[in-house]
Structure 1
Amino acid sequence: MEHFSSKDMALKAQKKILSSMATKSSVQMFIDDTTSEILDELYRVSKEYSGNRSEAQKVIKDLIKIAVKIGLLFRNNRFSKEELGVAQDFKKKLHFGAMTAISFYEVEFTFDKAVMSELLTSCRDLLLRLVNSHLTPKSHNRITHVFNHYADPQLLTQLYDPDGSFRGNLTKICTGLNKLVEDGTI
């Protein structure tokens, strides 16, 4: 017996269309200004750190595609009660991670790369659990790519170096995170 659902097909089409539109110019249609500013700074950090413009673009593009697809799944009520519990756990962990990132920035000599890396890895694992049955292995790889990139202890160490070249980027990232925390977005 073949299972067909026009609603499922429409959702797949939306995910496909939106993922192909995940470019820097179109991101502003789906992501607010504060988040866009944070993404711009994350792009600059990735570009400088990796020395590879295309890798930095790929990381941000992967992040945007995943955010858009998960947003679509939420709007179309695709998550089970159990998955919504995982989503709540992810949101709490993300909030805690943002607060920790801000605290490490504001309070000198408190940065711990192992703590920050573990928080990002934990967020990755929760997100993979959330989308396990909803997204393709290619999307799972995108999630892994993004979180592994930013959980890199060497990147984090350079980012949080008080005298390093990323200090201005970190200031803008934390200012944006602070705004999102205050707004209740994360």
Structure 2
Amino acid sequence: MADNVFKSHDIGLRAQKKILSRMATKNIAKTFIDGTTASLLDNLYRLCKMHTGNKAKAEKLIKNIIKIVIKIGVLHRNNQFSDEELQKAELFKRKFQNTQLSIISFYEVDFTFDLPYLQKSIAESQVALKSIVQPHLTEKSLGRIDEVFDFFGEEALLETAFRPDSPYREVMGKIVADINAAMETGDI
């Protein structure tokens, strides 16, 4: 009997992840997330679109972020993470916060940008996140994580974004403001 309950729960959890990931659009996400996070996603979309010149690729990246966040939220809400994974989540949180603080600093203080440091920080966040969710997500979902982190760790994007005369300067200012606001409220 207990075995059937577990399987039903497992199927229900998979269904939730599947349904929510299929609904992952910016407009749907805005119903689940606060204004600051929605603004951050909108500005990340603008940055992606500016950098790639490709609306579809930018939409796909943002959709992947939304899907990842929703799936992790479903797993967390359903207490699917072990104590060890929760400890790893704290490590990820610290690494990701360090990455965010670096982005803020590199934007606000001209000529402090350190590409190898930022790429390493992004890569460490990626590894930390995957170590938490790998037992719970499909290869396709793990691939989405890689796509997102690989894009934002791309040398050409980072080099251009943090130049004082960057064509992305305005949108980077908005992203930094959103990160600051989200960190203050504890949203990211």
TM-score range, shorter chain: over 0.9
Q: Which residue number in structure 2 is paired with residue 77 of structure 1?
A: 79
Q: Aligned-pair distance for 1:166?
A: 0.4
Alignment partners' CA distance in 1, 2:170 and 2:163: 11
Q: Which residue number in structure 2 is paired with residue 131 of structure 1?
A: 133
Is contact 2:51-2:157 (8 Å) kept?
A: yes
Q: Which residue number in structure 2 is paired with residue 45 of structure 1?
A: 47
Provide, for residues 61-115 of structure 1, a one-character-per-residue CA deviation record: whole Å limited to 9, x for no partner. 0110000000111111100011001100001111111111111111111011211
Gaps of 5+ in 2: none
Is contact 2:37-2:187 (8 Å) kept?
A: no
Provide, for residues 167-186 of structure 1, a one-character-per-residue CA deviation record: whole Å limited to 9, x for no partner. 01110000011111111233
Map residues 5-44 of structure 1 onto 2, 5 A cutoff.
5-44=7-46
Is contact 1:30-1:68 (8 Å) kept?
A: no
What TM-score do the two structures reach when normalised by structure 1? 0.96
Q: Secondary structure at the residue paired with 2:27?
A: coil
Alignment partners' CA distance in 2, 1:152 and 1:89: 23
Alignment partners' CA distance in 2, 1:150 and 1:25: 22
Residue number among 151, 170, 173 corresponding to 1:171 in the alignment: 173
Asked whether 1:92 is paired with 2:84, we answer no
Q: Which amino acid aligns with 1:69?
A: K
Structure (1/2) with the larger helix percentage: 2
Alignment partners' CA distance in 2, 1:9 and 1:2: 10
What RMSD, in angstroms, separates the aligned Cα atoms of the two structures?
1.4
Q: Which residue number in structure 2 is paired with residue 152 of structure 1?
A: 154
Alignment partners' CA distance in 2, 1:48 and 1:170: 11
Is contact 1:114-1:153 (8 Å) kept?
A: no
Q: Which residue number in structure 1 is paired with residue 68 of structure 2?
A: 66
Alignment partners' CA distance in 2, 1:42 and 1:113: 19
Is contact 1:27-1:64 (8 Å) kept?
A: yes
Provide, for residues 34-82 of structure 1, a one-character-per-residue CA deviation record: whole Å limited to 9, x for no partner. 1111111111111111111111111110110000000111111100011
Provide, for residues 115-149 of structure 1, a one-character-per-residue CA deviation record: whole Å limited to 9, x for no partner. 11111111111111101110000000000000000
Alignment partners' CA distance in 1, 2:5 and 2:140: 23
Alignment partners' CA distance in 1, 2:164 and 2:43: 17
